Amino acid sequence: MIRIASSALALALLTGAAMADPVAYDFDKSHAILAFSYNHLGYSTTEGVFRDWNGELNIDQDNPANSSVSFTIDIKSMDTFWAERNKHFLSADFFDAEKFPEAAFKSTSVEKTGDNTLKVTGDLTIKDITKPVTLDVTVNQLGEHPMAKVPAAGFDVTGVIKRSDYGMDMYVPYVGDEVTVHFNGETTQAAK
């Protein structure tokens, strides 16, 4: 879920332009999706999305250690495209959304692994349980946005988490423990 923010950070770190201070980037929610999928009994892959999330991204291209990203997800915005399943996932059997309405991600490191790839590590918190997560980031494009005429970055982020790490082990192993999280989106440099 959280990969989104990490990717944006990673993207910016790949650019060559030097900047003295961290620069803020905004997420373009009209061109972004935060999705997840898991194996259902070996018969199918079930998918869902989180429709409401917010991220803060500050990038220091000269010194990536000064860059930061944080992300929050409104758990109640989850949609698996089946109302009864949504209700069950939001219950105490899984997310317990009444008690734990948000999930959060905060990056701790970024490693460049190729010309347009990175590994972003951070802390993912769900139900007040925090575990480290590593995300694979592909930078789709960096450059001036052709319409907005400001620096922009587009990226694709994937990662795998174990739901049982966050106290959601109902039906494991029949329903997959590993959940693949995927974020695809765009950012633009924030107005000063």
- The whole domain housing 72 covers 3-189
Q: Look at residues 163, 175, 157, 66 and name the one whose alpha carbon lies nearest to residue 124.
A: 163
How many Cβ atoms sit within 10 Å of the Cβ of residue 111?
A: 14
pTM: 0.84
Per-residue pLDDT of the chain (192 residues; tens, 9 = 90+): 444 444 444 444 444 444 458 778 899 999 999 999 999 999 999 999 999 999 887 776 666 667 677 889 999 999 999 999 999 999 999 999 999 999 999 999 888 788 888 888 999 999 999 999 999 988 888 788 888 888 887 889 999 999 999 999 999 999 999 999 999 989 889 987
Distance CA 39, CA 108 (A): 29
The CATH number covering residue 75 comes to 2.40.128.110
Residue type at 67 in one-letter notation? S
**Nearest in space to 129 (alpha carbons), one of 93, 103, 91:** 103
Q: Is 165 helix (H, G, I), strand (E, B) or coil?
A: helix
| pLDDT at residue 113 in the model | 86
Beta-carbon neighbour count of residue 3 at 10 Å? 31
Count of domains forming the chain: 1
